[in-house]
């Protein structure tokens, strides 16, 4: 998948109307923040919660965090968000880990959270 295709996939998945809206979220030295995509699915009659976290360093770098296919709920998968690299502070990484450990409890779909770095 090319960076352009990945960027378009993120735009759709995280509810940005246009690519410019996505760029506005990730650029302009706006500071570190995340947007959480919460969804639910049925499996053998049980409802399960799934979510992904779009992180941006505020300087065009972005990454998508999701549960790991290998470690399931015991780990995360990290994909670059249509860029070559992304900077992240340890405190931001720990904040994202906390969201995964709490299973995105009390977080609304498409909620934006500013991280205090």
Q: What is the pLDDT of residue 108?
A: 85
- pTM for the predicted model, two decimal places: 0.89
pLDDT in tens, 54-105: 999 988 899 999 998 898 888 999 999 888 899 999 999 999 999 988 888 8
Q: Is 109 helix (H, G, I), strand (E, B) or coil?
A: coil
For the chain, which residues make up each domain, given as ranges? 3-114
């Amino acid at each position: 998948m090319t960076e352009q295709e990945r960027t378009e996939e993120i735009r759709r998945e995280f509810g940005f109307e246009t690519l410019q809206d996505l760029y506005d979220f990730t650029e302009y030295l706006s500071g570190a923040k995340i947007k959480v995509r919460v969804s639910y699915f049925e499996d053998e009659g049980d409802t399960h919660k799934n979510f992904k976290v779009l992180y941006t360093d505020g300087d065009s770098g972005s990454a998508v965090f999701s549960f790991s296919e290998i470690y399931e709920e015991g780990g995360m998968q990290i994909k670059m968000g249509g860029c070559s690299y992304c900077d992240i502070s340890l405190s931001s990484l720990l904040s994202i880990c906390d969201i995964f450990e709490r299973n995105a409890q009390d977080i609304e779909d498409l909620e934006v959270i500013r991280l205090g770095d």
